[in-house]
Amino acid sequence: MNYDCIIIGGGISGLTAGIKCVHEGLSCAIISSGMSALHFSSGSIDMLGYTDDGDVVYEPHKYIDEFIDSHKNHPYAKCGRDIVAESLQFFQEQVANRNVQFFHNNSSNHFHVTALGTLKPTYLSQRSVFNEKVRNGFASKPSIAIINFEGFRDFHPELAASNLKKNQLFNDFEIFARTIQLSEFNNTDKNPHEFRSIDIARILEKDKNIERIASQVKEAAGNALFAGIPALLGIHDSERVHRKLEELTGLIIYEIPTLPPSILGMRIDDALKTIFADEGGVFIAGDKVISGEIDNNTLTHIHTENYGKSQLSAQHYILSTGSFFSGGMVSEFDSIHEPVFGLQLDYPKGRSNWYSQNFFDRKSHPFLHYGVDTDNNLRPRDKNGETIQNLYCTGAILANYDPIREGSGGGVAISTAYFAARQIIEKCKE
């Protein structure tokens, strides 16, 4: 089977690259083993949130020049500022066609609220998390109700409310926590569901339920102008559910990301996969690439668990298998390796050097910036140190950046994907 491009890994990075490729008429397959880290994400896209000193970055498009100058090996430096901006614009436009609207704060960062009630700077958020109304409403210091659904154990409104109140931006706001009951929960002995995010999302996305729930939310919110609720407003048609809930309650409804599975993230996953398939891309789910043949600095074909000996080949390949959590890198007791091609990774000896003692260390953990080092075109070196000419690495598998400390995970995933795809498209058109 011969494609113009095979992408290994079907997360946000692989899908973005795939969409760009099929958009330009390339034949493209994505091989994905299990659902991606989008299912564990906040659903907002960070670009650059913090400086090296840990200060909040307000204008990432301005700050990026200075940042690239001082981080020559950073994936952003390899892409260049223009690609970073263009790729985020491309991403935003693509998913907008699939009912996922992203908003930015006039090209500046904005804060989004986490499940713990802390604030994080981010660049793009979905309508239910950031839009003009949210920004303007916030300026009037409204009172805020944080509302949970009784029985939902992956969100704690009291915790979120009290942490939010501790933040100096919210010091003089009235913030209170409330809980409402879903009648679907009444028969709990008959209902063995655990009431995780997906179960409640399915209740909220049904038309027949929305009016009843809206009146409950309105009553619980009392005199508040904002109602913060866990992000459970459905997957496929969340914009409509959100609008309807705002209309019926007269409140600004604000979605707060929950513990996994992340409904906000799954909206992006669903949108990207649908676009990719609609434009003729082949998405192979539930299979794992186990190895590849590299001949004369060129990746000739790959083997997967299901396809076995049959050869899958392409002119170009993208490796977007993610970091440790997604299986892009594997850590043994005293070594770290990249399991598909055995690419070179740079990390210090001694396991205790890989992490910080403090789990919530603001400087993050060292292992988060381990990964595959590449040339300026995102191409990695093989075991012998030779650059592989037709393989590109994108997203969390890359070295030399730290998604947590910099607040750059989504931006790096999208911009490196876009950069790799553009190079592949150019070569295919030659």
Partner 1 sequence: MIKLENISFDHCIKCTVCTVYCPVARVTHLYPGPKQSGPDTERLRIKSPELLDISLKYCSNCKRCEIACPSDVKIADIIQSAKWKYSKRSLKLSRIRDFLLSRTDLMGGVATWFSPIVNFFTGLGIVKFFLNTFLKIPKQRRFPKYAQGTFERWFKKNSNEQQGYDKKVLYFHGCYVNYNYHQQGKDVITVMNALGYGVEMTDEKCCGVPMIANGFLKKATKNAKFNIKSLGKAVSNSEKRIIASSSSCALAMKHEYPNLLELDNSPIADRVDYITRFIFDEFEKGNIPEMAPVNLRAAYHSPCHLERMGGVMYTIEVLRKIPGLDLKLLHSECCGISGTYGFKSEYYTIAQDVGNELFDRIDAVKPEIVVTDCETCKWQIEMSTSYEVTHPISLLAKAIRGANKSGD
Task: Please state the closest distance from residue 228 (CB atom) to partner 1, in A.
Answer: 23
Q: Which is nearer to partner 1, 34 or 222 (CB)?
A: 34
Nearest to 24 by CA among 320, 430, 313, 421: 421
> Applying CB under 8 A, which of residues 68, 277, 336, 428 lies at the interface with partner 1?
277
Q: Which stretch binds partner 1 (CB under 8 A): 301-309, 373-381, 392-400, 417-425?
A: 301-309
**DSSP state at residue 41:** S
Restricted to residues 159-198, the positions that interact with partner 1 (CB under 8 A) are 184, 190-194, 196-198
Q: Which is nearer to partner 1, 333 or 430 (CB)?
A: 333
Task: Please state the closest distance from residue 133 (CB atom) to partner 1, in A.
Answer: 30
Q: Which is nearer to partner 1, 190 or 349 (CB)?
A: 190
Restricted to residues 26-65, the positions that interact with partner 1 (CB under 8 A) are 29, 33-36, 39-40
Please give, one letter per residue, the 3-state secondary structure of the chain.
CEEEEEEECCCHHHHHHHHHHHHCCCCEEEEECCCCHHHHCCCCECCCCECCCCCECCCHHHHHHHHHHHCCCCHHHHHCHHHHHHHHHHHHHHHHCCCCCEECECCECEEEECCCCCEEEECEEECCCCCHHHHHHHHCCCCEEEEEECCCCCCCHHHHHHHHHHCHHHCCCCEEEEEECCHHHCCCCCCCCCCCHHHHHHHHCCHHHHHHHHHHHHHHHCCCCEEEEECCCCCCCHHHHHHHHHHHHCCEEEEECCCCCCHHHHHHHHHHHHHHHHCCCEEEECCCEEEEEEECCEEEEEEECCCCCCCEEEEEEEECCCCCCCCCCEECCCCEECCCCCCCECCCCCHHHCCCCCCCCCCCCHHHHCCECECCCCCEECCCCCECCCEEECHHHECCCCHHHHCCHHHHHHHHHHHHHHHHHHHHHC
Task: Please state the closest distance from residue 81 (CB atom) to partner 1, in A.
Answer: 33
User: 251 and 178 in contact (C-beta within 8 Å)?
Assistant: no
Task: Please state the closest distance from residue 99 (CB atom) to partner 1, in A.
Answer: 15
Q: Which is nearer to partner 1, 135 or 193 (CB)?
A: 193
> Applying CB under 8 A, which of residues 282, 336, 345, 428 lies at the interface with partner 1?
282
Say which amino acid occupies 311.
Answer: Q
Task: Please state the closest distance from residue 35 (CB atom) to partner 1, in A.
Answer: 5
Question: Any contact of residue 202 with partner 1 (CB under 8 A)?
Answer: yes
Say which amino acid occupies 382.
Answer: D
Phi then psi dihedrals of residue 313, to 5 deg:
-140, 160
* Rounded Cα gap, residues 147 and 228, in angstroms: 6
Restricted to residues 304-333, the positions that interact with partner 1 (CB under 8 A) are 304-310, 326-327
Q: Which is nearer to partner 1, 109 or 326 (CB)?
A: 326
* Rounded Cα gap, residues 65 and 86, in angstroms: 15
Site size with partner 1, rule: CB under 8 A:
40
Binding-site string for partner 1 from residue 215 to residue 254, where x marks contact by CB under 8 A and - marks none? ----------------------------------------
Q: Which is nearer to partner 1, 121 or 234 (CB)?
A: 234
> Applying CB under 8 A, which of residues 225, 284, 336, 428 lies at the interface with partner 1?
284
Q: Which is nearer to partner 1, 34 or 250 (CB)?
A: 34
Task: Please state the closest distance from residue 306 (CB atom) to partner 1, in A.
Answer: 3
> Applying CB under 8 A, which of residues 80, 142, 260, 366 lies at the interface with partner 1?
260
Q: Which is nearer to partner 1, 34 or 342 (CB)?
A: 34
Task: Please state the closest distance from residue 105 (CB atom) to partner 1, in A.
Answer: 31
The helix or strand, by DSSP H or E, that contains position 178, with its residue range, turns out to be strand 175-180
Task: Please state the closest distance from residue 193 (CB atom) to partner 1, in A.
Answer: 6
Phi then psi dihedrals of residue 414, to 5 deg:
-75, -45
Greatest alpha-carbon span in the chain: 70
> Applying CB under 8 A, which of residues 28, 160, 266, 294 lies at the interface with partner 1?
266
Q: Which is nearer to partner 1, 225 or 282 (CB)?
A: 282
Q: Which stretch binds partner 1 (CB under 8 A): 59-67, 115-123, 134-142, 258-266?
A: 258-266
Task: Please state the closest distance from residue 197 (CB atom) to partner 1, in A.
Answer: 8
Q: Which is nearer to partner 1, 46 or 205 (CB)?
A: 205
Q: Which is nearer to partner 1, 274 or 331 (CB)?
A: 274
Residues that bind partner 1 (CB under 8 A): 1-2, 29, 33-36, 39-40, 184, 190-194, 196-199, 202, 260-261, 266, 274, 277, 282, 284-288, 304-310, 326-327
